[in-house]
Amino acid sequence: MSRHSISTLIALLVAAGAAHAQPRAQPPDPTTFGARIEAGDYARARAWLDAGLDPNYVGDRIGTGLMIASWEGNLSLMQLFVARGADVNKLNARGETALMHAAWRGKLEAVKWLLAHGAAVNSAAGSWSALHYAAFAGHGDVVDALLAAGGDINARSANGSSPLMMAVYDDHPDTVRQLLQRGADTSVKNDRGDGALEWAFKFGRLGIARMVSNPQQFAAAASLPKSHWAEPVRSQPAGAPDDPLTKQIDELVDMRKVLDSRGMTNAVSSIDRRIARLRFQRAVANMDVPSALLEITARRSAPTDQKARLIVK
């Protein structure tokens, strides 16, 4: 071997050793990752992935980069993460997929893109689905897209609720009508025995109550005393001082006021998205809880001799 060949070989070996010894790039912290992806920072996302970041890396709030991009409806970032190997059906800590995030936010194009790239339209039995989320948020166009892709119109959630019940719960009469026209089953009951009709009366939505019942059913429900439709009792009421989600929302609202006063519109938009996310988490956490009423009895002859009991359904 010539002297030139030996020197070339040595140079190659030294270069390879140096490359091997170079420390692997550190991943971003979850908060920074989540904030940059929410802001649509394509260049930063690509640089992280080029440096070896796991395409299923999880941010601090919503989930993976693909989930965050889907929440925002950012098709470019969605394409980037999937091209680098992101799992389109991966679940976050709350059992949510990228499709569920896009459905909740009403990002129709993101929903269609995910479905075209292998997203499962239905969840496992007894789990929340994208159709539940779309119905809960009242996004009729997304509901149509999911049903067209084979979405289960009577899917049962973790607590047994159907998409129709979710539309009733959040007062979306157009979505209720849409689901009924597509064949939604009004007889579905959740684990506590409540269905679409029960929720409509419980929340005082008589127009919806008529939609989800026949005249006989409506008349029977309407004849019951108001106490029968007691308001839900939450184990940690939304808005209670010790509710951690409410605390976070209140802090973000205060921050939003400051940013808005300074004309920082982009930052305000980002805060608005975080507030929407937290409010949704609080709504889901406080859904389907036992209803209760306080029954107090007394005799006219002895008004001070009272008895009380809490009836939980």
Average pLDDT over residues 151-175: 95
Q: In whole angstroms, what is the distance from residue 151 CA to residue 153 CA? A: 6
- Say which CATH architecture domain 121-231 belongs to: Alpha Horseshoe (1.25)
Name the nearest CA neighbour of 220 among 202, 191, 204, 197: 197
Residue 55, pLDDT score: 97
Question: How many percent of the chain have pLDDT more than 70?
Answer: 70
Q: Is the pLDDT of residue 53 over 90?
A: yes
Which tokens belong to 79?
A: 């394409």
Of the candidates 119, 29, 128, 2, the residue with the CA atom closest to the CA atom of residue 70: 119
Domain positions in the chain are 1-119, 121-231, 235-285
Residue range 13-31: average pLDDT?
63
In degrees, to the nearest 5, what angle opens at C-alpha 212 toward C-alphas 223 and 133?
Answer: 125
Mean pLDDT of the chain: 82
Q: What does the pLDDT look like over 173-211, one tens digit per residue?
A: 999 999 999 999 999 999 989 999 999 999 999 999 999
Per the rule left: phi > 0, alpha: psi between -120 and 50, beta: everything else, 243 is beta
pLDDT value for 32:
93
Q: With 70 as the cut, is the pLDDT of residue 65 above it? A: yes
The confidence band for 121, taking pLDDT boundaries of 50, 70 and 90, is very high
Q: Name the strand (E) or helix (H) holding 181.
A: helix 173-181
Q: Regarding predicted confidence, which is higher, 240 or 39?
A: 39
* C-alpha span between 246 and 191 (Å, rounded): 26
User: How many whole angstroms separate alpha carbon 288 and alpha carbon 161?
Assistant: 8
Global pTM reads: 0.71
C-alpha distances out from residue 73 to 20, 99, 110, 112, 132, Å:
39, 10, 5, 11, 19
Predicted confidence (pLDDT) per residue in 81-96, tens digit: 999 999 999 999 989 9
Quick check: 75 and 63 in contact, CB under 8 A? no
Q: What is the pLDDT of residues 229-286, one digit of tens each?
A: 765 443 343 344 456 767 667 767 766 765 666 566 766 777 777 777 776 676 666 6
Alpha-carbon distance values, 134 to 147, 178, 184 (Å) = 11, 12, 15
Among 186, 117, 116, smallest CA distance to 148 is for 116
Q: What is the DSSP string of 15-47?
A: HHHHHHHSPPPPPPPHHHHHHHHHTT-HHHHHH
Question: What CATH topology corresponds to 1-119?
Answer: 1.25.40
Q: What is the pLDDT of residue 272?
A: 75
User: What is the model's pLDDT at position 200?
Assistant: 95
Closest to 196 in 3D by CA, of 223, 219, 227, 172: 172
pLDDT at 22 over 60: no
For residues 35, 38, 44, 45, the Cα torsion angle rounded to the nearest 10 degrees is 120
Judge whether 183 and 149 are in contact, CB under 8 Å: no
Rounded to 10 degrees, what is the CA torsion of 277, 278, 279, 281?
A: 90
- Say if residue 99's pLDDT is above 50: yes
> Which residues, other chains included, contact 231 with Cβ-Cβ below 8 Å and sequence gap of 6+?
202, 291
